[in-house]
Chains A and B, each alone.
Chain A
Amino acid sequence: MRRAVSWIAALALATCAVGCGDSATASSGVNEPLTVSNGQFFAGTFPSDQGGPAITSTSGYRSTIIPAGTVAKSIGGNAASGALSVAVALDGLGSGYWVAPVGSPDQETKGELSWKLVLNFTHDLPAGPQKLLFAAANRDGKFGAQRVLDVTAKPFMPTGHVVASLSWGNDADLDLHLISPSGKELDPKHLSTTAIDDGTMAPLPGGGTLDRDSLANCVPDGRRTENVVWESDAEAPEAGTYTVRVDLFSACGRPATNFVFDLYMDGQAVENQHKAGILLDIDADNGGPGSGLYVTQFTL
Chain B
Amino acid sequence: MNRHLSAIAMAAAAVWSTHSASAQTAPAPAPVQAAPPPVPDAPAPPAVPAPAASAELEKQIAVQRADIDEQDARIQELEQALKALKQAAAPPPPPKAVATQPAPAAIPPLDESLQVRGYVQAQYESHQDSEDQLLPGGAPLNQDRFVLRRARVRLDRLWQYGGLMIEFDANSVRGAAIGIQHAEATLAYRNPDHTPLASLTFGLFDNPFGREVLESPRERVFAERSFASRAFFPAEPDLGVRASGQVAWFRYSVAVVNGQPLGDRTGFILQDPNAHKDVLGRVGVAASVNPAFRVNGGVSVLNGRGFHAGSDATKSTIVWRDIDENGQFSLGEFQGVPGVASVASKNFDRWLVGADLALELDSKLGKSLLAGELSVGSNMDRNVFVADPVTTSVDQRELGYYVALVQEFRGGPIAGFRFDSYNPNSDFLDSQAGKLIPTSQTVRTFSPLVGFQVPHRARLVFQYDFVHDALARDAAGVPTDKKNNVWTLRLQGEL
Report how far A11 CA is from B446 CA in the complex, Å. Answer: 11
B73 adjacent to chain A (CB < 8 Å): no
CB within 8 A of A4: which of B129, B326, B409, B433?
Answer: B409
Question: Which residues of A are found within 8 Å of B67, using beta-carbon distances?
Answer: none
Kindly identify, within residues 10 to 43 of chain A, every residue whose CB is under 8 Å from any CB belonging to chain B.
Answer: 11-12, 14-15, 18-28, 30-31, 40, 42
Report how far A1 CA is from B415 CA in the complex, Å. Answer: 12
A112, closest chain B residue (CB)? B434
A15, A65, A73, A102, most chain B CB atoms within 10 A: A15
Question: Which residues of B are found within 8 Å of A197, using beta-carbon distances?
Answer: none
A274-299 vs B, Cβ < 8 Å mask (1 yes, 0 no):
00000000000000000000000000
A3 adjacent to chain B (CB < 8 Å): yes
B314 adjacent to chain A (CB < 8 Å): no
Whether the Cβ atoms of A24 and B409 lie closer than 8 Å is no
* B residues contacting the other copy or chain, number (CB 8 A): 41
- Given A1-B413, A84-B433, A24:B474 Cβ within 8 A: yes
Whether the Cβ atoms of B481 and A63 lie closer than 8 Å is no
A residues bordering B, Cβ < 8 Å? 1, 3-5, 7-8, 11-12, 14-15, 18-28, 30-31, 40, 42, 47, 61-63, 65, 67, 73, 82-87, 99-105, 113, 137-141, 143
- Given A20-B466, A141-B474, A12:B433 Cβ within 8 A: no
Shortest beta-carbon distance from A234 to chain B in Å: 17
CB within 8 A of A23: which of B324, B407, B464, B483?
Answer: B483
Question: Which residues of B are found within 8 Å of A47, using beta-carbon distances?
Answer: 475
Query: Given A82-B433, A86-B477, list of 8 further CB < 8 A pairs?
Result: A4-B413, A19-B446, A26-B483, A40-B473, A84-B477, A99-B475, A101-B432, A101-B473
A47, closest chain B residue (CB)? B475
Whether the Cβ atoms of B417 and A15 lie closer than 8 Å is yes
B49 adjacent to chain A (CB < 8 Å): no
B residues bordering A, Cβ < 8 Å? 128-131, 133, 141, 323-327, 365, 407, 409, 411, 413, 415, 417, 431-434, 446, 448, 450, 464, 466, 468, 472-478, 480-485
Shortest beta-carbon distance from B301 to chain A in Å: 32
Whether the Cβ atoms of B327 and A67 lie closer than 8 Å is yes
Whether the Cβ atoms of B481 and A23 lie closer than 8 Å is yes
A11, A83, A100, most chain B CB atoms within 10 A: A11
Question: Which residues of A are found within 8 Å of B365, using beta-carbon distances?
Answer: 3
- Given A1-B411, A42-B475, A24:B480 Cβ within 8 A: yes
Whether the Cβ atoms of B133 and A30 lie closer than 8 Å is yes
Whether the Cβ atoms of A4 and B415 lie closer than 8 Å is yes
Whether the Cβ atoms of B482 and A63 lie closer than 8 Å is no
